[in-house]
Structure 1
């Protein structure tokens, strides 16, 4: 007697993608929304060893979409949402299909050039080391008083495992004049060099060729920005088009976002890096600025990132900044 067995997929995100495709069919916008809805439940199911894809699928179908996700996703998206953007949808397909991509914000010891930025008594932003004594962050961090020190390490809750370095000079770009949001970039010149290799800045061509960026930061981990700051995390998010409805300045900013486990950039990630990969290496493409003009929530519906290369000449003119 011959028996036939069906191979059980063990990759939870592969199950999520399969279920979303079954439900959405060829409708790419609906696929993005359904994938979002199911992926947001994954953290709650994968809490122990041995959770396989079939158990996850049954749980997802039985439990369905959480009220929070329903309220965030809804049945109709605004016409200016990145969920309606064809470039975003195409890049999202590529990220979902590539199992090497990071889906869902995960703690990491990689990217040590991503540092926490703080005031004298609190940690409040993120940044990127671009030379031994220069950190790039957001202009609104400096304007908000979050630019007195940086933490080089993976978790601000364990200062003994890292190093705190005072900031000698903090300067936002002169074009950044709140409430005008563009030009949202700043330079922090450190009092002493950091013991970490700096990150090279991506060229405009490298950014233009990318379908996704890898975000890093210490920021909050829920879509309403109520907590979770302190641990360096990363996530891969698709790049959207440069349509002006998203509120970005085409020449100096780009738009990206992810529905994956609601792990977009969030408060506390401000100023943190958006990396692109080229030739097997990671380069600094952007600094986290703000939510898109079409966002429904503080975090999780797409973000605007300042193109660091657009300001590279200026940042090396800041007094005390030393090129790598």
Structure 2
């Protein structure tokens, strides 16, 4: 009979033999991140591996509950999967999700509420799963989807996998991201992974195991997250892992969020626009955290188990409507200020088509940095100096069809300028029947307006207060700049213990 032992590790600051160094997680929140030389093999990883490279495995996250810490996996912009014994609460426990590779993550923090599987039985194994609902969406980090539906067929004994976490390593260190490549030893409703010195350890609880869907086995060389570190015996001898595809039905039902972009709730192939742009080399670390580590190679729309999203015809362009501000609105510059805040909201719809890929703005006929928003709600917070402005919104769908533009005219400290061609503008949603070259005939009108002095006082983001055509971003710092999947871009262990620090 296998003995399962649950260990809630106390918060102490002395090393315990067989347990490793327990570090108060609050030190990571209060102090600057330690200088960790990431990507250097001289600091052994997890057990038997290597330190993660900068931007390596960006969806592997550090999860702090104040008095103890775990690891986790970002599987959706709003959802992190971890182990049930980490929050150990079915009613919700507050946590801080930290991204990065350094001590305690170090790159950025997002608050969250975490919920344990109500069927969790207190033991290592298949019921040891939980999820955290982020309080702010993370849309700029390329997601490795959880294995579901046809993906699960790749999970077999002997297959090579990668364990990632922030737990203890061979030399007793902990708190920075590490990885180790090993194999699946056995799998049913849980998995047994690692051994021969390659393993997860305390602090890795809840962290991911990734698998590459290799083309030699009929895959497309993209990656999936599938394992949830649960527990094991002596670190280095291998351990027991819960499985994401066992957890998914409850997570989706409880959270109300679809975290499987390529399949429906029954596991049948049903690709969405997010069933693509899947990382092909996530461990290699490309880009910087300022851009969400998003510079690495990605897949097109996946056709792994059926037709890719966007297969077939979609001849109709989307519609777009600037819902705020209305044409004729005049904004006043406050006393002692030089610019006025202007919030812009846009709605877009692709009807029976494949969906809206992005919406972009032009101000007085000009593109500007951050003018493209790839996810609803489509909102921008800008600042305008005195003058007249023509605000233009254009929507593009996932096959490249482009809407006719919607245009509104506003003024700052003066009346709004006339619309090109005498159009009534804003608030009247376009019927979308014009050709896909939505700008035809409009830029000339805007150029004429510019010659009359439009935009001479400049505009920029509300938080920069910049002057001139410098930059603008969608409202909300969590939203990805410039589009994510845009149409043009894609397409029998004794004494098992919890691996929580």
Per the TM superposition, whether the score is higher than 0.5 is yes
SS of 1:241's equivalent? Answer: strand
Q: CA offset at residue 321 of structure 1?
A: 3.8
1:186 lines up with 2:134 in the alignment: no
1:100-134 deviation per Cα after TM superposition (whole angstroms, max 9, x unaligned): xx993111131100000011365x11000000010
The gaps in structure 1 that reach 5 residues or longer are: 1-101, 243-249
Q: TM-score normalised to the size of structure 1? A: 0.57
Query: Structure 1: which 4+ aligned runs deviate by more than 4 Å?
Result: 144-147
Matches within 5 A, 1:235-250: 235-242=180-187, 250=188
Counterpart among 210, 214, 228 of residue 275 in structure 1: 210
Residues 179 and 286 of structure 1, relative CA distance in 2, 3 Å threshold: closer
Residues 209 and 178 of structure 1, relative CA distance in 2, 3 Å threshold: closer
Structure (1/2) with the larger strand percentage: 2
1:156 lines up with 2:103 in the alignment: yes
Q: Is the 8 A contact 1:142 1:172 kept in 2?
A: yes
Counterpart among 272, 279, 288 of residue 229 in structure 2: 288
SS of 1:315's equivalent? Answer: helix
- For this pair of structures, how many residues does the alignment match? 202
Structure (1/2) with the larger helix percentage: 1
SS of 1:148's equivalent? Answer: strand
The gaps in structure 2 that reach 5 residues or longer are: 1-45, 214-219, 262-501
Counterpart among 156, 161, 170 of residue 208 in structure 1: 156
Q: Is the 8 A contact 2:79 2:133 kept in 1?
A: yes
Residues 147 and 117 of structure 1, relative CA distance in 2, 3 Å threshold: farther
Work out the CA distance in 1 between the residues paired with 2:85 and 2:155.
Answer: 23
Q: Is the 8 A contact 1:189 1:320 kept in 2?
A: no
Q: Is the 8 A contact 1:141 1:147 kept in 2?
A: no
Residues 268 and 300 of structure 1, relative CA distance in 2, 3 Å threshold: same
Q: CA offset at residue 209 of structure 1?
A: 7.2
Work out the CA distance in 2 between the residues paired with 1:282 and 1:146.
Answer: 30
Q: TM-score normalised to the size of structure 2? A: 0.37
Q: CA offset at residue 210 of structure 1?
A: 5.7
Work out the CA distance in 1 between the residues paired with 2:75 and 2:105.
Answer: 24
Q: Is the 8 A contact 2:104 2:166 kept in 1?
A: no
Map of 2:166 onto structure 1: 218
Residues 253 and 158 of structure 1, relative CA distance in 2, 3 Å threshold: closer
Residues 300 and 138 of structure 1, relative CA distance in 2, 3 Å threshold: same
Higher relative contact order (CA 8 A, sep 6+): 1
Map of 2:401 onto structure 1: none
Map of 1:258 onto structure 2: 195
The CA RMSD measured in Å over matched residues stands at 2.7
Counterpart among 59, 64, 72 of residue 118 in structure 1: 64
